Structure 1
Amino acid sequence: MSLKLSCLAILAAVAVTTAPTPAQAKFELVERKIKVGNRERSYRAYIPDRVRAGRETSVIFAFHPALGSGKGFVDQANLHRASGAEDFIIVYPEGFRRTWNGGDCCGPAQRRKIDDLGFVKAMFQDLENFGPISKSRNFAAGFSNGWVMSQQVACQMPDRFRAIAGGGAVKQDLSGCGRGSAVSIFIMHGLEDTIAPYQGGKSSLNKTGRGAELPSVAQMANFWKGANNCGSKSSSSRLPGASCESFKGCSGGAEVTVCAVPNMGHWWPGHGGGRKGEKTFGPSRGDLNGAGAAISFFRSKL
């Protein structure tokens, strides 16, 4: 598959319907515009009361899928509504032309070499206007192109990020990753995802059948297990309703957990899709609590 088609394989997942969610924690919603170089960027953040009280707080960046938006991902991911979310500032940034430059992917952001790492650094700095921000215990969650971006910050900014969570994509270029502090990885990926197939191979978006195949989720997980020098494997209940295994004994107390989600296509677990969405992206699992699983994972790494 060509690089162009490989990028397109991550450009799916649009909002269709929103699954029921737990009661929302108390946050102040702020919408910010900041300059990154000569370009104006924007994000929305949910600021918990603890920040206003002057307590150092960790940040979760929630990166939307390509062709999505930060505003849309608020209701797709629902991270700020999960139990325990009040321990974090939760940020939903807007990509460049609805895409992220994850290094090897995707769309206009990657082709234009948009400095999305610079955007993340600028958001850290801007958030300090609200209160003290952790220097090393921060997190990223993302879906599809947003999951590629989450891995990009883990690769390029490991001293600032403690863990990442997401799925729906396989980052192909992991060169330069795993050279700093160990970063915990939590993968939640649908077994019926045909856009980024769990077992690897041709994406359903590759209509010609030509070009290189996508690597598998296992290959991506194996990289992170090796990068973090992980040890023994055990079954895990990180995401009830999925088949999960965890690798622990990793450097710096890190962990790599992989959850294969049955009867789910190209979706964030917990985002329920209607008929139109499921026709394109496969079955959804609105009954799952991906947000709660991600927040629980991050809280375990504080």
Structure 2
Amino acid sequence: MTELECNKLIKRDITISECKEANPDDCNRSYFLHIPTSICNEQNNSIAGDNLPPTLPLVFAIHCFGCSAMTMYTSFAQHANEHNFVLVAPEGIKHSWNARHCCGYALDNQLDDVGFLSNIQSALSNEFAFVKPQFTYATGWSNGGFLVMHASELFRGIAPISGFIAGIESELKRGDIHGGKPLFIHQGMDDPYVRSTGCCHDLNLPKCCCNIAADTCTDVMDVARDWAVEVNGCKNDETLLAETSYANKDDGIRCLTSSNCISNTTICTYDHSGHFNQQSFDKAFPMANEVMNFFARDACEVNDGWWNGIDKTCSCNTERSGPLCLDKVVAEDRFKNVCYFYQSGICGDCQLHNIGSSCICNGKKTEKTWKDWKRRQIRQSRIY
């Protein structure tokens, strides 16, 4: 395994395989990598060694037009570390991405930026056994938001910010291999650059920024509703009903989530946030933690884990292990999780009493098991 330091910015270069760009220089790309401390050796802060780390989700954070990878790294690295994510911040050529409607050099030259992201995903999963493509998420701002929607087939769930695309690729519609695709979309209603109405061809309106070339006038709320119904199979007539705890009316933030769905669809609108660029993205966008929490909850629930968004922990049943319950427990270790669960959350110091029944907690036997405890809990609402 490659030796890498954890909780540290690591710049890496990659040459795109089977690259077809007109300019050969555009086949040489770069990205920044951040490994969380949870899988590191405390003595040398490295993942090198013989112990196989647990599976961790991979999260792409994709910058805006005119920005750099550091914009997203600064905003999301700490939150990725706290939620046990491997973070990737890719660098766009000439600060741009080809995302169908936007923007700059990459769009003008039709660069294969979806292929670039796919190459990173494949390279990291081949290099590190704890990275698996099926547990990949992505968030992006502005041009990056357009790209995460354009490249959504690569990801288990996405969170576009101030950048959205109307229309849904046919392969995503009800029948995606993951059973839906979580969407957490953010849009300033007063955004002067990416309009919440989606209109860029209306001659009665000023020209859109950055040559954004959307050919429809589909409102961001309609985009979220379409995604809820066509991708995530929501059954209600009104598909965006419940207001979430993320809402903050004093700050003009309204968040709505769909219900009766295969996967979650949540939209947050902001009355006074513009394009999240005043003063800077990391200061203007208030929900970087919530984006990571959204992804972590989804990953945790893949194998019926129980996500605690306050403590940022995922509690596993006896069949699963790892920070987000993404690994199978080997037969001889399958009941260790029971005692570990009590030790970390309920009983204090525990010892295994007998396989599959109970723990000795502080010298006193308890018949509680993880499943018994879970049955008595009011499962956290799926309203994120």
TM-score in same-fold range (> 0.5) = yes
RMSD between superposed Cα atoms in Å: 2.8
Q: Does 1:164 align with 2:170?
A: no
Query: Following the alignment from structure 2 to structure 1, what is the Cα–Cα distance between the partners of residues 162 and 199?
Result: 14
Structure 1 residues 145 and 79, CA, compared in 2 at 3 Å: closer, same or farther?
same
Aligned to 1:4: none
Could you say which residue in structure 1 is the equivalent of 2:375?
none
Q: What residue is the counterpart of 2:32 in the other structure?
A: 44
Q: CA deviation at 1:178?
A: 1.9
Q: Which has the larger radius of gyration?
A: 2
**Which of the residues 243, 264, 284 maps onto 1:235?**
243
Q: Report how far residue 152 of structure 1 moved.
A: 1.7
Q: Quick check: 1:170–1:214 contact (8 Å CA) kept in 2?
A: no
CA shift digits 1:189-244 (9 cap, x unpaired):
1121122222343565449xx99664211121122112211134211123545111
The equivalent of 2:261 in structure 1 is: 250
Contact 1:139 1:162 in 2 (8 A): yes
Structure 2 stretches of 5 or more lacking a match? 1-5, 20-26, 40-46, 300-384
Name the count of aligned residue pairs: 256
Secondary structure of the 1:140 match is: strand
Matches within 5 A, 1:33-112: 33-37=13-17, 38=19, 39-51=27-39, 52=47, 54-75=53-74, 78-82=75-79, 85-112=82-109
Residue in structure 1 matched with residue 7 of structure 2 by the alignment? 27
Contact 1:103 1:173 (C-alpha < 8 Å) held by counterparts: no
Gaps of 5+ in 1: 1-25, 275-283
* Partner Cα distance (2:184, 2:270) in 1: 13
Q: Residue 178 of structure 1 aligns with which residue?
A: 172
The structure-2 alpha-carbon separation of the partners of 1:216 and 1:294, relative to structure 1 and needing over 3 Å to count, comes to: same
Q: Does 1:113 align with 2:110?
A: yes
1:1-26 Cα deviation digits (max 9, x unpaired):
xxxxxxxxxxxxxxxxxxxxxxxxx6
What secondary structure does 2:138 align onto?
Answer: strand
1:97–1:84 Cα change, 3 Å = closer
**Amino acid in structure 2 at the alignment position of 1:48:** P
CA shift at 1:294, angstroms?
0.4
Choose from 142, 145, 148 the match for 1:144: 142
- Inter-partner Cα distance in structure 1 for 2:103 and 2:69: 16
Q: What CA distance in whole angstroms lies between the structure 2 residues aligned with 1:54 and 1:114?
A: 35
Q: Deviations over 1:119-152 (max 9, x none)?
A: 1121123324244212312110011110011112
* Alignment-mate amino acid for residue 193 of structure 2: I
Whole-angstrom CA distance in 2 between matches of 1:206 and 1:103: 15
User: CA–CA distance in 2 between the matches of 1:120 and 1:234?
Assistant: 34
Whole-angstrom CA distance in 2 between matches of 1:86 and 1:57: 10
- In 1, the alpha carbon distance for the partners of 2:80 and 2:119 equals 28
Cα deviation for residue 86 of structure 1 reads 4.2
The Cα of 1:72 is off from its aligned counterpart by 2.7
Once residues 288 and 119 of structure 1 are traced to their aligned partners in structure 2, the CA distance between those partners, rounded to angstroms, is 26
Aligned AA (2:165): K
1:106-130 superposed Cα distances (whole Å, 9 cap, x missing partner): 3322232212122112112332424
Stretch deviating more after TM superposition (195-204 or 63-72): 195-204
Contact 2:97 2:147 in 1 (8 A): yes
Q: Name 2:279's counterpart in structure 1.
A: 273
Deviation at 1:171, TM superposition (A): 1.1
User: Taking structure 1 as reference, are residues 50 and 63 closer, same or farther at Cα in structure 2, changes over 3 Å only?
Assistant: same
The aligned amino acid for 1:87 is N
**Alpha carbons 1:186, 1:257 under 8 Å: kept:** yes
Query: Which secondary structure state, in structure 2, belongs to the residue aligned with residue 32 of structure 1?
Result: strand
For 1:5-24, what aligned pairs fall within 5 Å after superposition? none
Give the partner amino acid of 2:65: A
Higher RCO (C-alpha under 8 Å, 6+ residues apart): 1
Q: CA shift at 1:80, angstroms?
A: 1.4
